[in-house]
Amino acid sequence: MNKLMQQAAQMQEQMRRMQEDARKQTAEASVGGGLVKVTANGAGEVVSIEIARDAIDPDDAEGLADLVLAGVNEALRSAHAAVEEKAQQMIGELGLGDLGLPGLGG
């Protein structure tokens, strides 16, 4: 029983570290041929948006909004995928992938 409690504490600590790492890990998406660049972190936060002057057309605000939306969605998807990959790696290292639990690999 003590060993099980130690393993649970170890897993909890690794999850805490993984959450910290996710906040630091970023992914960038570029859309519209580089007109809009968005950076997001693994915690699901958009950390920066860069818009090229060429993307700013007062007569096409909707087009710019579409580019920003596409960039944000792609950056968030990429950041999430990177965090998921790291989580699967950690699960494998802990030997939890063969438990058959939903969301725990294997």
Residue 48 belongs to some domain of the structure: yes
Whether residue 14 is contained in a domain is answered as: no
- Residue 53 is predicted with a pLDDT of 96
Q: Does residue 91 lie in a domain region?
A: no
| pLDDT at residue 16, rounded to an integer | 84
For the stretch 8-46, pLDDT in tens is 888 788 888 888 888 888 999 999 999 999 999 988 999
Do the domain assignments include residue 87?
Answer: no
Listed in order, strand segments (DSSP E) in 2-94 are 26-31, 36-41, 46-51
For residue 49, what are its two tokens?
Answer: 């948006």
Q: Residue 106 — pLDDT band, cuts 50, 70, 90?
A: very low
The answer to whether position 66 is within a domain reads yes
Instruction: Determine which of 1-5, 57-61, 94-98, 101-105 has the lowest per-residue pLDDT on average.
Output: 101-105
Q: Would residue 71 count as lying in a domain?
A: yes
Number of domains in the chain: 1
Angstrom distance (rounded) from CA 100 to CA 67:
40
17 within some domain: no
Domain with 51 in it: what CATH number? 3.30.1310.10
pLDDT tens readout for residues 76-90? 999 999 888 887 887
Write the CA distances from 10 to 14, 19, 43, 57, integer angstroms.
6, 14, 22, 53
* pLDDT recorded at residue 100: 53
E-strand ranges in the chain read 26-31, 36-41, 46-51
Stated length of the chain: 106
The verdict on residue 74 lying in a domain is yes
Structural domain containing residue 53: 26-79
